[in-house]
Amino acid sequence: DDGLVVLGIETSCDDTAAAVVRGNGEILSQVISSQAELLAQYGGVAPKQAEEAHSRVIDKVVQDALDRANVTEKDLSAVAVTIGPGLGLCLRVGVQKARRVAGAFNLPIVGVHHMEAHALVARLVEHELSFPFMALLISGGHNIIVLAHKLGQYTQLGTTVDDAIGEAFDKTAKWLGLDMRRSGGPAVEELALEGDSKSVMFNVPMKNHKDCNFSYAGLKTQVRLAIAAREIDAKCPVSSATKADRRNRADIAASFQRVAVLHLEEKCERAIDWALKLEPSIKHMVVSGGVASNQYVRFRLNNIVENKNLKLVCPPPSLCTDNGVMVAWTGLEHFRVGRFDPPPPAMEPDDFM
């Protein structure tokens, strides 16, 4: 244990999160305030509403994280904060909070890349996980597969040419009339358990592309058309649907999930082959980001990865979806090697406005 203690702040999308993590990987606290319920009223993430929601809770979320960790700002070694990618308005709330805390207590700041944090949190979970390794990062806004050579040095092997898989899960949930007060992915996963995954024959995307890129826009359209063809009414919640209607919806959910994941499987297989040529010593494949909390995704990708003689590292669901721990941990990794910004001035112009 190097004695470091870092506060992490995450506001890039619709969750306001903070956590305190020690240098030895111990999670001292983890706090999340979700806006899913609020944003469901707007049918998705609305930047202005999201910013206001972050602003309302940010002070409390950070204070709770410190209190639950039983530390004060004076015990911190640094403050880590997500600086992108994400909604600018939302990121700003987190960055301003980080600068206020760091300014008042003379602490260095570590700016963290959200996707790097999704990948590196796997090193907190699995102590054996050393560079180089591969990472498939699957969330609502991103769908990338990278080769991590060393801290801060990554080769992107593939990305989505349109939508990310999480976006396809969210739209499928919406069109199937599933409960959107939480995010769509878990609702589709749950309903899919009741369905026949071979009942609707969706096409696997990009069959003829010999690359490692992804595409989910076409599959989304296929799902929308299948839902229209079966005359499913999204305004009728699945909880009030007839038995036959519910079964129809479950079949679509299961068939969508099977093909969406098959696309991941095919691209992962190819990406592993590519990566092993560049870095033959790779032993691990990380799968992280919100969609990695899906049990079917984990199961199928584990088969692919094991067939290639690699080990799958999937953080627990609470560390796969957006959280403050991944930001604090990534901040720690960079802080240790001297990558941080000096403390900002205690009073910033914003404070006078």
Contact positions vs ligand KG4 (CB under 6 A):
13, 139-141, 166, 169-170, 183-186, 189, 289-291, 293-294, 321-322
Q: Choose the one of ligand KG4, Zn ion, none that binds residue 103, judging by a C-beta under 5 to 8 angstroms depending on kind.
A: none
Site for Zn ion in 130-159 (CB under 5 A): 139
CB of 55 to ligand KG4, least distance (A): 20
Going by C-alpha positions, the residue among 46, 61, 42 that lies closest to residue 181 is 42
Residue with tokens 């409960």: 179
Answer with the entry of ligand KG4, Zn ion, none that 94 interacts with (C-beta below 5 to 8 A by kind): none
CB of 331 to Zn ion, least distance (A): 16
Q: Is 45 exposed, middle or buried (0-12, 13-18, 19+ CB in 10 A)?
A: middle
Q: Which does 170 bind (CB under 5 to 8 A by kind): Zn ion, ligand KG4, none?
A: ligand KG4
Could you say whether residue 322 binds Zn ion (CB under 5 A)? Answer: yes
| Min separation Cβ 79 and ligand KG4, Å | 21
Pick between residue 101 and residue 148 the one whose CB is nearest to ligand KG4: 148
Token pair 């990794």 is found at 333
Q: Does residue 34 belong to the site contacting Zn ion (CB under 5 A)?
A: no
Q: Which is nearer to ligand KG4, 10 or 251 (CB)?
A: 10
Shortest Cβ 289–Zn ion spacing (Å): 6
Question: Which one, 213 or 294, has the nearer CB to ligand KG4?
Answer: 294
Please say which residue, 114 or 220, places its beta carbon nearer to Zn ion: 114
